[in-house]
């Protein structure tokens, strides 16, 4: 069964007539630009899979409750031409049957790598699936990216969103505790895409959630080497040959990781002798304050994306392992065709005492906020 038109109409009406006073013609014209569409496109493990479209008149964000994923972000360039700026498939249904490198997905329970696929809590050893060589990556064989979340769209006079919930039961993928997670994804009238996580557990566990969207501000026509990056990061965490942090926290000064002033990515990749797949240190500990993490510009199109978060780090990944991948619109994605800015705790933190702790105890609430703010620079 499919439904779409009723929800879209309801969203428009609720936004246009939210005020108790009679709306003016101008306010109706302004509000009617905000629209949510929803369509059931599949079933997976007996649960409905939906494709959502959030449209504020300028940006269009497409989501799914499968994997809590961002399917597409369609935004104008400096000439008003709208293009999708993510690496993805044409349809949500393809995610159910085609392997992919976490396009747009919510990664969890623990995003990034855990060395040797094991960790200990209070003297108890937990063994996880080895999904990246001898290590554990992005939550396991069937992490949050392969789960169908319960979902409910919502709207007000400045925001369109989808609220998603998922219960990860005790022992799922080897992790302890029944973990209840709520995910909000929303588009605002000022062209900001907000992502917010909240989680609670009934048993001590570890947690590190993020979104794994691959961006290409040029519209995914070629690689991202002409993009300009600026990180507000004084340090990064070096890694070994398996991309596991060594435990060192290193000053970026005099290294290719120094993006404190804007740098062209191609130049930095050449200086680094390859791509990036590293944690940029944004804070020395997790605090609730939002911080400006990154600004990315694509000079040719004029698109600008500013990323803010309250977390301690951001994994900067430049699609080093992508090759000959059949993506959306008949395109074949190659190495460095996209970049990920994975706001998260530092990788393998449970195995490094000097890293911010990923532990979550009963009675505590895990909270994590991310914002992508889109604009144009002529």
Token code pair at residue 80: 């008003």
212 carries an active-site annotation = yes
CA 33 – CA 191 distance, rounded (Å): 13
293 burial level (CB within 10 Å; 0-12, 13-18, 19+): buried
- From 51, 136, 138, 212, active-site residue: 212
Catalytic pick among 83, 173, 186, 342: 342
Nearest in space to 162 (alpha carbons), one of 146, 148, 173, 151: 151
Contact status, residue 89 vs residue 97, Cβ threshold 8 Å: no
Q: How far apart are CA 179 and CA 182, in angstroms?
A: 10
CA angle 309, 118, 123 (to 5 degrees): 100
Spacing of C-alpha 76 from chain mean position: 21
HEC profile for 301-324?
CCEEEEEEECCCEEEEECCCCCCC
Indicate if 364 belongs to the active site.
no
Pair 87, 76: CB distance under 8 Å: no
Active site residue ranges: 212, 342
């Amino acid at each position: 069964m499919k439904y779409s038109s009723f929800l879209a109409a309801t969203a428009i009406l609720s936004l246009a007539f939210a005020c108790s006073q009679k709306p003016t013609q101008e306010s109706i014209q302004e509000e009617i630009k905000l629209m949510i569409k929803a369509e059931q496109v599949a079933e997976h493990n007996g649960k409905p899979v939906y494709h959502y479209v959030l449209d504020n008149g300028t940006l269009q964000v497409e989501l799914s409750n499968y994997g809590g994923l961002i399917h597409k972000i369609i935004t104008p360039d400096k000439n008003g031409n709208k293009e999708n700026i993510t690496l993805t498939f044409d349809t949500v249904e393809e995610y159910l049957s085609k392997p992919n490198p976490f396009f747009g997905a919510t990664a969890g329970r623990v995003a990034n790598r855990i060395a040797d696929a094991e960790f200990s809590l209070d003297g108890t050893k937990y063994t996880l699936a080895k999904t990246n060589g001898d290590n554990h990556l992005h939550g396991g064989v069937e992490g949050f990216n392969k789960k169908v979340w319960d979902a409910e769209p919502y709207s007000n006079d400045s925001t369109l969103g989808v609220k998603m919930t998922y219960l990860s039961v005790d022992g799922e993928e080897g992790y302890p505790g029944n973990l209840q997670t709520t995910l909000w994804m929303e588009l605002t009238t000022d062209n900001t895409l907000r992502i917010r996580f909240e989680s609670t557990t009934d048993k001590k566990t570890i947690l590190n959630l993020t979104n794994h969207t691959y961006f290409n501000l040029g519209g995914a026509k070629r690689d991202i080497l002409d993009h300009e990056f600026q990180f507000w990061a004084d340090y990064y965490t070096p890694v070994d040959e398996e991309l596991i942090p060594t435990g060192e926290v290193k000053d970026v000064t005099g290294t290719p990781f120094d993006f404190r002033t804007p740098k062209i990515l191609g130049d930095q990749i050449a200086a680094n002798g390859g791509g990036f797949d590293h944690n940029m240190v944004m804070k020395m500990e997790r605090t609730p304050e939002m911080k400006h993490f990154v600004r990315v510009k694509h000079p040719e199109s004029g698109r600008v994306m500013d990323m803010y978060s309250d977390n301690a780090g951001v994994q900067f990944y430049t699609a080093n392992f992508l090759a000959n991948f059949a993506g959306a619109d008949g395109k074949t994605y190659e190495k460095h065709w996209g970049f990920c800015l994975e706001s998260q705790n530092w990788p393998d933190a449970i195995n490094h005492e000097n890293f911010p702790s990923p532990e979550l105890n009963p009675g505590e609430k895990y909270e994590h906020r991310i914002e992508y703010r889109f604009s144009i620079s002529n």
